[in-house]
Structure 1
Amino acid sequence: MEFTLPMTFSSEPRIITTDNHPIRHHMIDRDAMKVLHVLRDNGYAGYLVGGGVRDLYLGMTPKDFDISTDARPGQIRKLFRNSRTIGRRFRLVQVFFGGKEIEVSTLRSLSEYDLDGPDAVLAPNNTYGSLGEDAQRRDLTVNGLFYEIEGNTIIDYVGGIEDLDKSVVRFVGEPERRITRDPVRMLRAIRHAGRLGFSIAPESWEAICSHHEKLPLCPPSRIRDEFFKDLHSGSFTVWLKLALDSELFFDILALYKQALSKKEKVDERPYREQLIALAKVIDRSSTLAKESEKRGLNSDFLLALVLVPWANSKFDLVHQQLKGAAAFRFSKILREALDRELGVQLNLRRSIRQQMVTLLSNLPQFLRYREDNSWPRWIKKKSYYKSCALFCELYSESLTGDKAELNLSSLPQESSRSEKPKTPSSNQGRRRKSYNPAFSSSKKGVFGFKK
C-alpha cells in the first residue's frame, strides 16, 4: 500500500544551531536535565519536546518540561526507580523529584489513519516510531519541536520555528483530517493563540469554523477539563472572543446557543459584551493568583460567573426579589435547568452544580444588600457568605469596572490545581490489600460470617 504524507511532513528536518536560537542549558529545569543525561549515559536518545521548547524559544518560563526518547516504557522504569507508568491509550512514564514530575514518553509512529485518511485502520497507540513520525502526530506546529542537549540544537520537522517567528498557530498536517481525528485540537489551537497572542493560520481557522460542531463527539469530561484550563489561564478573554467567533463556545455551553448563536435572530452584542466583561474579571483573578503564588478560585465559581448572562436572559436573575419558600422554589428551578442543560453535557459533579446554584440564586439578594450597604447579621453567619459576597463584587466589577478587593486566601480554592503528586514507593503494586471479614447483625450474616 502506498501512503501519502501530510503536507507539513518533512523527511529532512530543519536544524537550528546554537547561534540561531536563544535556548541554553541553564534555562532548562535541573531535574529535566538529569533525566536527559541519564538517558544519554545509558545509550538512549532524549529530547526536550513540545511546549517546553516553544516557551523557551519565546523567552517564557515553561510550566512543564516534557521529554521524548527512543527508550521503551519498561526500559525507562528500570533507569528511574522514582517513577510510575500511566496512560491507557499510550503509555508514558512519570519520573518524580520531590513534589515535581517529569513526563517521559516514547517516540510514536504515524498511524495509517494519519497517513491515508479517515477510512484507514487505526494503528495501536503504542506503536513506537521515529523523531519525524512523532513530530507529525503532534497537534500544532509550534508544539512539534525537539531540543537535544548534545549539540544544543532544535530539530524542526513541521515548520514550527517559522510559525513561532511569524506568531502563527497552525495545525500539523491537513486541518480537516486532524480535527476529524481529534476535535479537541480545535480548543488547543484557540488556547495557544490566546495565551501566546498569536493569530491562527487562515486554513486552520477556516477548518475550525467549518467543523466546530464535531466537538460534542468527544467525551464530556475531556471538553470540561480543556474548558476549565482556559478559565484559569489568565487569557480567557482572548480565548472567549475566538471561541465566540468560531462558534466553538456554543458547542461547549449549548445553553447559550439560543441566546447568542449567529443562526438565531437575536442581537448578540449585549450578551457578548457581558461575557467579555466577565472574562476580564476572571482573568484578573487568575493573574493575581499566579502573581501571589496562591491557588485560584474554584472552577465552579468561575463557571458560575460565565453563566450570569444566561441566567439573566432565562430567569431575569438580577431582578428577582424572592424570599422564603419562593426563593427555595426558584433555586430548585435553577438547579433543574443547570442539570438539564449543562450537567450532563460537561459531566459536572453534583457538588459543583449545587455550588453554582448557590452563587447564582443568592446574587440578586446580595446585590440589594450591597447597594443599600446594609448586611444583616444572619447572612454573615451563613457558610456561603464569603463566596457569595465575592461573587457579587466580581459581577459588579464587570458592570462598573471598579476593581473588587480579592482576598483569595479566605475563600474555597482550586485544590486540585496544586496538589503534589505522590511519589510511588518501591514496592507499590506488590502488596495485596488485606481486608477484615465483613460481619452483619442480620440473622444469617454476610458471606457466611455471623456476628
Structure 2
Amino acid sequence: MPQTGGDASRPLIVARENHPISRANISPNALKVMYRLKEAGYQAFLVGGAVRDLLLGLSPKDFDVATNAHPDQVKQLFRNCRLIGRRFHLAHVRFGYEIIEVATFRAAHTPIDEDNSVDEGGHRVLDDRGRILRDNLYGTIEEDVWRRDFTANALYYNIEDFSVWDYVGGVADAQAKVLRLIGDPETRYREDPVRMLRAIRFAAKLEFQIHADTAAPISKLAWMLDGVPPARLFDEVNKLFLSGSAASAFDLLIRYGLLEHLFPDVTQALNESPDGVAAQLVRLGLAGTDERVRADKSVTPTFLFALLLWPAISRAYQRLNPQPGSEFQQMTLACEQATARQQARVAVPKRFTLPMREIISMQPRFNMRSGRRALRLLDHPRFRAAYDFLLLRVAAGDADPELGDWWTEIQSLPAEERIARVEQRPAGAVQGEAPRSGNRRRRRRRRHPAVSNP
C-alpha cells in the first residue's frame, strides 16, 4: 500500500486505489451519516476498529464516525439523534436497531473532568447546569489521533475522497498484526490502567502480537488495576471473555500477571494446581464460550462467572467439608463466600450472581437420582444451564461420566419411562458425591460440550 504524507502533524494518506476498503462493506447507515455531514460542510471520517478490520478483510460489527462538527450541530442534522455523556457529548444516530456513534474531534488534553468546571487557566467551561461555555473539549483531527490508544485503532477513512489517513503508522502495524501503543507505553498505562486489559483483548481478538515496548511495562504496572473501580472492571471482563477469544485472553492474562488482580482467589487455586480439574473446567468452558460466539449464539455473564469462579467455589466447598444431606446448603454457602470476596475486585451485579448461584448450587442435586423428587430438577428454570455445567465438570474429570450420561438419557425418555427409571433406582444411591478436589488430574479427555446460558 503506497502512502504519501508529510511530517508528524500531517497524515500519511493511502489513496483509494491503494487500499482494499470498499463502501460496499461499510454500513449503509454509516455512509448516510458521513455523506450528510460532508454535504453540510463538515469533515467526516469512519474511524477506529472499523477501519482496521476493513483493511484486514474482516467484517466490523460497529461503525463509528469522527467529525469536526460539534454535538449540537450533529443533532441539528439528524432528527433520529440523541446526545449522551456528561463530560464529553457523543451523538448517537439511530437507524432501527443500529446506532452510529458520532464523536467530535477531541483536544489533545481535555482540562475538565466530572468534578471540575474550570480549565487550566481558571476559566469556567461549564455553567451550573453543565452546559459547555467554552469549547476547549474539542480539537482537530491532528489532536484527536493522540487521544486514541493503539496505532491500528487510530486510522481514519475519509468520505471526501475515500482515502485512509494515518498519523501514527497504524496501517503498517495492522498489516504486520502488531499491537503498539501510541506514545510512551508506561505513561499511557498510568493514565488509564485499563489500557493493559485492552491490550490483552485486542491481541487475543485480532491474533496480534503485542509489541515489545507495549508489553514491557504490563507486569510492572499490573498492580494499578487494584485501584480501578470494580464496576468498570466488570465491563472490561465481559469484553475480554464474551467476544469470541476468551481462551486466548485467559492465557494472556496469566502470562502478563493480570489475572491475579482480577480474580485473586481463582489465581491462587490455579497456581496450586495448574493442571487440575478446576483449571481444566475453566479452559474447556471458555473454549465452549468462544464456539458459541463464533456460531452467533447467545452468551451471558451468568455462565461466564460460574466458570471463572468455579476454582474458588470448589476450594471453598471442600474446606466446608459437607456431610451427607448438607451438600446443597454448603455449595450455596461456598458460592456466596467466593462471590462476596470477588466483588471487591470485579463487581458482578445481582442479576447475574443470583442465577449463577442457582447453577452452582444445583450441582450436588444431580447426584440424587432415586425417587420422583429427582425428576423435579428437570423443571427447574436453570436446569439447562446447570446441566451444561455438569457436562463441563464431566469433561474436566470433576464428575463421574456415568452421572452425565444418566441425565442426558433421562431427558430423552417419555414421562412414564422417566418415572420407572427413578423408582427402580435404590433409595440413597450416590446421594451426595462432592465435586472432586482441584488437585486431582482428570482421567480421560472428552470433547467439551457446547456451553449454554441461563
TM-score (norm. length: structure 2): 0.77
Give the 3-state SS of the residue equivalent to 1:269 in structure 2: coil
**Aligned-pair CA distance for 1:100:** 0.8
Write out aligned runs for 1:208-223 (5 A).
Answer: 208-223=218-233
Match for residue 357 of structure 2?
357
CA contact (8 A) 2:302 2:356 kept: yes
**Aligned-pair CA distance for 1:158:** 1.2
Deviations along 1:218-246, whole A, 9 cap, x unmatched?
Answer: 22111111101222111111111110011
The 3 A distance-change label for structure 1 pair 274 and 331 is closer
Deviations along 1:308-364, whole A, 9 cap, x unmatched?
Answer: 2223334338x976554553244224313321x112432222342232222223324
Write out aligned runs for 1:184-195 (5 A).
Answer: 184-195=194-205
CA contact (8 A) 2:44 2:66 kept: yes
Write out aligned runs for 1:98-117 (5 A).
Answer: 98-111=96-109
RMSD after superposition: 3.0
Match for residue 56 of structure 1?
54
Q: Distance in 2 between matches of 1:95 and 1:43?
A: 18
Q: Distance in 1 between matches of 2:265 and 2:332?
A: 18
Paired residue for 1:284, among 281, 285, 288?
Answer: 288
Deviations along 1:273-301, whole A, 9 cap, x unmatched?
Answer: 8546633433333433442x4322x2121
Paired residue for 1:270, among 258, 275, 278?
Answer: 275
What code does the residue aligned with 1:44 have? Y
The 3 A distance-change label for structure 1 pair 122 and 342 is farther
The 3 A distance-change label for structure 1 pair 231 and 320 is farther
The 3 A distance-change label for structure 1 pair 360 and 21 is same
Match for residue 327 of structure 1?
328
Match for residue 307 of structure 1?
309
Match for residue 239 of structure 2?
229
Q: Distance in 2 between matches of 1:329 and 1:395?
A: 18
Q: Distance in 2 between matches of 1:190 and 1:141?
A: 15
**Does residue 1:92 correspond to 2:136, yes or no?**
no
CA contact (8 A) 2:291 2:450 kept: no
Q: Distance in 1 between matches of 2:333 and 2:209?
A: 43
Paired residue for 1:138, among 99, 123, 148?
Answer: 148
**Aligned-pair CA distance for 1:254:** 2.1
Q: Distance in 1 between matches of 2:272 and 2:297?
A: 39
Give the 3-state SS of the residue equivalent to 2:92 in structure 1: strand
TM-score (norm. length: structure 1): 0.78
Q: Distance in 1 between matches of 2:94 and 2:121?
A: 32
**Does residue 1:243 correspond to 2:253, yes or no?**
yes
What code does the residue aligned with 1:270 have? D
The 3 A distance-change label for structure 1 pair 224 and 32 is same
**Aligned-pair CA distance for 1:303:** 1.2
CA contact (8 A) 1:45 1:71 kept: yes
Deviations along 1:118-176, whole A, 9 cap, x unmatched?
Answer: xx969989611111211111011110110112222110111111111221111111111
- The alignment of Structure 1 onto Structure 2 pairs a total of residues equal to 384
**Aligned-pair CA distance for 1:305:** 1.0
Give the 3-state SS of the residue equivalent to 1:34 in structure 2: helix
What code does the residue aligned with 1:355 have? P
CA contact (8 A) 1:281 1:398 kept: no
Paired residue for 1:151, among 161, 166, 170?
Answer: 161
Q: Distance in 2 between matches of 1:329 and 1:112?
A: 52
Q: Distance in 2 between matches of 1:140 and 1:407?
A: 33
Give the 3-state SS of the residue equivalent to 2:216 in structure 1: helix
Deviations along 1:51-70, whole A, 9 cap, x unmatched?
Answer: 00000001000010000000
Give the 3-state SS of the residue equivalent to 1:93 in structure 2: strand
What code does the residue aligned with 1:348 have? V
Deviations along 1:41-87, whole A, 9 cap, x unmatched?
Answer: 00000000000000000100001000000000000000001010011
Q: Distance in 2 between matches of 1:281 and 1:305?
A: 6
Give the 3-state SS of the residue equivalent to 2:165 in structure 1: strand
**Aligned-pair CA distance for 1:380:** 2.0
Could you tell me which runs of 5 or more consecutive residues in structure 2 were left unpaired when the two chains were aligned: 1-6, 112-118, 126-134, 398-443
Deviations along 1:386-445, whole A, 9 cap, x unmatched?
Answer: 22111111232344543455485xx53xxxxxxxxxxxxxxxxxxxxxxxxxxxxxxxxx
The 3 A distance-change label for structure 1 pair 404 and 48 is same
What code does the residue aligned with 1:49 have? V
What code does the residue aligned with 2:220 have? S
Match for residue 20 of structure 2?
22
Q: Distance in 2 between matches of 1:332 and 1:46?
A: 55
Q: Distance in 2 between matches of 1:60 and 1:41?
A: 29
CA contact (8 A) 2:153 2:170 kept: yes
The 3 A distance-change label for structure 1 pair 95 and 249 is same
Paired residue for 2:209, among 178, 182, 199?
Answer: 199
Q: Distance in 1 between matches of 2:13 and 2:212?
A: 27
**Aligned-pair CA distance for 1:383:** 3.1
Q: Distance in 2 between matches of 1:167 and 1:66?
A: 22
What code does the residue aligned with 2:314 have? N
The 3 A distance-change label for structure 1 pair 331 and 302 is same
